Every structure is written in structure tokens, then in C-alpha cells.
Structure 1
Amino acid sequence: MKLRAVSTASLLFCSLLASAQADTLSKITDSNRMTVAYRESSVPFSYLAGAGGAVGFSVDLTNAIVDAVKKKVNKPNLEVASMPVTSQNRIPLLVNGTIDLECGSTTNNSTRGQEVAFAINHFYTGTRLLVKTTSGVKNYADLKGKTVASTTGTTNAQVIRKYSASNNLDMNIVLGKDHDDSLLMVEGGRAVAFAMDDILLFGLKANSKDPASLDVVGDSLQVEPYACMLRKDDPAFKTLVDSAITGLVKSGEFEKLYTKWFMSPIAPKNINLNLPMSPQLRDNLKALSDKPAM
């Protein structure tokens, strides 16, 4: 009986803890603090471009959501902390309550949806390849038996591994700890190609030591949406986040932010990615859907 009582108490405690973490607005109100995540090298979404902290399209979305939170909890002087995350630790840090919101370059898919929730999709991308212009690689068939880099904890690593197996390409897949690390593998000759979301590859190329030496090639293997990530089973916070993004869309501010980061020169090298809005994103600005990739 004693063991059963302890077990029941433990389960109750865990349930209460999970419930408290899921109620993000109460957590923020009680602590007078909100912690948001940023990425260090997800150009142009969330990245470091100097000593002033993270910048990017997703950082601007984060700031708009933070403003909505301050208004909702009536705390204009709310303490807001920023924490760097990686592809590998972003979900655990959100689930355990360390961070309250992650807007970076995270794919909204059904598998992740078992652990976390996603806001309205704000970008669409697909896996392609970053290679040296001298590599001779134009598409995936050119990578048979060769070393290909991707980044730990990303859907792209899974996609390229599956594609290699399905097409008998026998690629040697190596994983960098972050996107900069994966890029270095290509620049240093340790990998022939870097498989990643095409928009991130364009951003990494634009801000690399020698952009002219790199090229983005290959067919897009799949189309996946990016979305801000939040804890599951927290409808009040999801409603607030979705409302903040919807407000940006309806006011025209979302399109202005898109133009700022994808159609204009950006820090640190003032290079213009010149990437018009995709048909999928145009459609979702009308639908305002959080539909995941499968």
C-alpha cells in the first residue's frame, strides 16, 4: 500500500507540473519573465550578425508575439530573456519549460506535433544541396558513394538518408552540430554537399567567406512549413500567438517583414537573397493554417 501511495503522489506531482508548464501565460505572469529562443546561424530567420543579439525574420515575429503577451498579462515591463537553441535541444527545452516560445527555422510536422504545438505556418521550404561550384554536383545522383553533410536534429538529415537508401546512392551521411558546422564541412572538403532547407542554404551562402565559390543545386525533395513552436495542450497561449501573427498578416506588416528579410539587403554583408514569396506562403496568408507536413 505504501508503494502504491508514493507512486500515485508522484504521478499527481508530474501531472500538476506538466499542467503548470502548459499554462504558459500563468507561468509568465507568476514569474514576471518570458524566455524566448533564438538560433545562431539560421539566416535570415534567426541569427547572430554582431554584438547586438539575434536578428532575422523569426526574431521580428518573436518580438511581435512578446508585445502581445505583455499586453495580455498587463505587464509592460515584463522581463524577457533570450536563449540560444540548436536543432537538437529546441524541443526538449520547450517541453521542460526552460523556454516558452521558439520561432526560428523549425519545420511543423506530424511527428513533432506529438510533443509540441505549432502556430500558423509562416514560411515554406524544401531540402536541396549546397555545394562548391567546382564540385560538379548538379543533383542527387551525382552524390553516389560520397559524403554528404546535414545538421543534427533536423528533418533534412532524415530526408536525405531516406532518399539515399531508396535510390541506392550509398551516401555517407555526416551530421554537424549546427548549420555553420555543416557548412564548414563543405568549405573544408570533408563533405561534397550540405543537405538542408533551401532558404537556409541561400542565407548561409550569402554570408559565407566566399559566396561565389558556393552554389545551391538539386531538386527540392519536399515542401515543408516553418512555424513558431509552443507547448502542447495550451489553447490560450496558442490563440494569443496565432492572433499576433494574424494581426501582422491583416495589417500588411507581415509582408513588410518578408520584404525586409528576403527581398532587401540584410546584415552582416548587405546581400539581398531576392527570394519572392512562394505560392504556398501566399495561399497560407489567406488560409492562416497551421497544417503540418506529414
Structure 2
Amino acid sequence: MPHPLRTAFCLAITVAAGVLPAAQAQETRPTLAKAAETGSLRVSYRESSVPFSYLDNNKPVGFAMDLCGHIVEAVKTRLKKPDLKVEMQPVTSANRIPLVVNGTVDLECGSTTNNTVRREQVEFAINHFYTGTRLLVKKASGIKNWPDLKGKKVATTTGTTNFQVLRKYGQEMKLDLEVISGKDHADSMLLVDSDRAVAFGMDDILLYGLMANAKNPAEWDVVGDPLQVEPYAIMLRKNDPEFKKLVDDTLKGVIASGEFEKLYKKWFQSPIPPRNVSLNVPMSEQLRQHLKTPTDKPAL
């Protein structure tokens, strides 16, 4: 049986160089009705959120992309449109929510935290990962934990929850941090690589992905106690219960069939492109417990 991602994304794929024409107001049509009418589904990806959603030879790949591949197949089946066109759209931390809200994209398949603030604007599928904010540093920096950052510059990515987490923690602990932002995760890592910041504060799993694919992984380390635990989930528009149910039911089926665990091993415990390095990240106990009774419970 063909892999769902390959059949969904390689049969009819349009990779947009820029943003697809966006609606001026919030999209109100149900997603399935819109897809049936237009003959297409718009799926977004991230360019450097390893291993969830990133580019390999200019093609979006990753754990979240594979999960979305199953959802695309479910939409094709529901609409009885095996030739449904899949339009791919790159998004950033800063524009991902607006592009879901206004209908530019129907599914956001990246590394987005499901929290209560965001749910005022968008909806989330059931959670598929849990992570916490830590630090990517050069080993030569000598930084081992948060107190070592006192009075220093720390990078994070624009539009992420981590920006506020870092600022709040720095103020509470009187670390006198200067938080500076990169436009995406690769750019934030570059701020550290070029010594414009001493550390990159971000979800630890994304830091492991960036480190594994660095030119010299041995020069880097992920350090610091996790500041908080946050769930990742696929993002979709609010007030669309039919599509939300299809997405959740599809993901629950992936979990029940054992396919979710296979995909986890593929992306977190096996060599992955582009450098064929394994992240060697075992499934957390929190995620294992979640898989027994999957929910879309947000972080606070």
C-alpha cells in the first residue's frame, strides 16, 4: 500500500514560493465543503522545524507531515475525490495563525503549541507531542543552566510561545536577559553560531533536531532544566466541527493501528534526512500515557 504522505503530496503538489492569495476576512466555509468546491486542500509546512516539518531537497518532510498525509487521505476518501489537489504553503511562527484564520491554509502541519490563548483564534487536533523550553548552546560557551545566562543575550524565534516564557522567567529570576529574535529556527540558531547571542531558547525537541543537522553537531549541546511542558498539535480553523472530527478520528486511528509508534521511531529514533543522523529521543512517559486516551487538552 503506498505511503499516505507520498500519495497525498506527490501526486498533485504545488509548492508555493510566496503566500497564496489570502481571503481578506476570516474564512467561514466548512473546510470539507470548501475542498469539495475548489477541488483542493491547502496544507502548510515549516522550513526548519526538524523533525516535525522541514525541507529536504526542497520537499516538506517530517513527523507532522506524515500525520497530515493520513489526514489528506481521509479527506480524499470522505469527499470521494482521489485526485484532490494538495497545495503546499510554507508558513512561519509569525504568520501561521493568521493564515489558518483567513483560509489561506486548511491544515497547519508544523510544531505549534496547543494553548488556551491560541484557541481563542484557532482550533487544534488531538495532541501528538510534548516538549519543554531548554537551551541550545555552543559547548565552548560553558553555559550549563539558566543562571549562567545572567546579563547575556538569548535568542528565540519570533511568534513562538518561548519568547514570552523567556522574558517572564528572566524577569522572575532577575537574570537581566536581553531576548532577541530570529525569523525562524534556523535564523535563531545562526544568532548563536555568529556569537550575537549565547544561547537559543526553544522547545527542546526542535533544538535536538537543529543540533543533529548542524555542520558540526559535536560543537553544540542542549542544556538547562525544562521551564514548562507544552503539547504540540495540528492547527485548523475554529467552528468547523465536521472537519475537526475527521482530523481527530484519523489521528486516533493512526494511534490505534500502531502506525503512530512506527512514525515516532522513524523520525525520533532512526537516521533522518538530510544528514541521516538519529535524534535518539525515546518517547516520553507523558506522550505514552496520552496515547492511551488521546485528547486535545491545551497548555495553560
TM above 0.5, one fold?
Answer: yes
Percent identical:
63
What is the aligned partner in structure 1 of residue 297 from structure 2?
Answer: 291
What is the aligned partner in structure 1 of residue 47 from structure 2?
Answer: 40
What is the aligned partner in structure 2 of residue 8 from structure 1?
Answer: none
What is the aligned partner in structure 1 of residue 212 from structure 2?
Answer: 206
- Match 1:195 to one of 198, 201, 212: 201
In the comparison of the two structures, how many residue pairs are matched?
Answer: 277
- Match 1:21 to one of 20, 23, 28: 28
What is the aligned partner in structure 2 of residue 100 from structure 1?
Answer: 106
Query: Secondary structure of 1:129's partner?
Result: strand
Does residue 68 of structure 2 align to residue 62 of structure 1?
yes
Q: Which amino acid aligns with 1:287?
A: T
Does residue 222 of structure 2 align to residue 216 of structure 1?
yes
Does residue 84 of structure 2 align to residue 86 of structure 1?
no
CA–CA distance in structure 2, aligned partners of residues 280 and 40 of structure 1: 27
Give the CA deviation at 1:209. Answer: 1.3
What is the aligned partner in structure 2 of residue 31 from structure 1?
Answer: 38
Give the CA deviation at 1:280. Answer: 1.1
What is the aligned partner in structure 2 of residue 113 from structure 1?
Answer: 119
CA–CA distance in structure 2, aligned partners of residues 103 and 58 of structure 1: 5
CA–CA distance in structure 1, aligned partners of residues 85 and 269 of structure 2: 33
CA–CA distance in structure 2, aligned partners of residues 113 and 151 of structure 1: 20
**1:130/1:217 contact within 8 Å kept:** yes
- Match 2:80 to one of 51, 59, 74: 74
Query: Secondary structure of 1:265's partner?
Result: coil
Give the CA deviation at 1:245. Answer: 0.3
What is the aligned partner in structure 2 of residue 244 from structure 1?
Answer: 250
Per-residue CA shift, 1:106-125, capped at 9, x if unaligned? 00000001000000100000
CA–CA distance in structure 1, aligned partners of residues 115 and 265 of structure 2: 26
CA–CA distance in structure 1, aligned partners of residues 39 and 128 of structure 2: 28
CA–CA distance in structure 2, aligned partners of residues 85 and 21 of structure 1: 21
Give the CA deviation at 1:292. Answer: 0.1
What is the aligned partner in structure 1 of residue 171 from structure 2?
Answer: 165
CA–CA distance in structure 2, aligned partners of residues 131 and 114 of structure 1: 34
Please identify which structure carries the higher helix content. 1
Per-residue CA shift, 1:191-225, capped at 9, x if unaligned? 00000000000000000111111100000000000
User: Normalization by structure 1: what TM-score?
Assistant: 0.93
CA–CA distance in structure 2, aligned partners of residues 22 and 290 of structure 1: 23
Query: Secondary structure of 2:140's partner?
Result: coil
Identify unmatched segments of 5+ residues in structure 1: 1-16
User: Normalization by structure 2: what TM-score?
Assistant: 0.91
Does residue 285 of structure 2 align to residue 274 of structure 1?
no
Pairwise CA RMSD: 1.1
**1:120/1:288 contact within 8 Å kept:** yes
Identify unmatched segments of 5+ residues in structure 2: 1-23
Q: Tell me: CA distance 1:19–1:107, structure 2 relative to 1, closer, same or farther (3 Å).
A: closer
Query: Which of the two has higher C-alpha Rg?
Result: 1
CA–CA distance in structure 1, aligned partners of residues 25 and 80 of structure 2: 25
Q: Tell me: CA distance 1:41–1:162, structure 2 relative to 1, closer, same or farther (3 Å).
A: same
Q: Which amino acid aligns with 1:158?
A: Q
Per-residue CA shift, 1:129-167, capped at 9, x if unaligned? 000000010111000000000000000111011000111
CA–CA distance in structure 1, aligned partners of residues 47 and 235 of structure 2: 17
Q: Tell me: CA distance 1:182–1:286, structure 2 relative to 1, closer, same or farther (3 Å).
A: same
What is the aligned partner in structure 1 of residue 152 from structure 2?
Answer: 146
CA–CA distance in structure 2, aligned partners of residues 114 and 129 of structure 1: 29
What is the aligned partner in structure 2 of residue 175 from structure 1?
Answer: 181
CA–CA distance in structure 2, aligned partners of residues 127 and 112 of structure 1: 18
Query: Secondary structure of 1:175's partner?
Result: strand
CA–CA distance in structure 2, aligned partners of residues 282 and 256 of structure 1: 13
CA–CA distance in structure 1, aligned partners of residues 243 and 281 of structure 2: 31
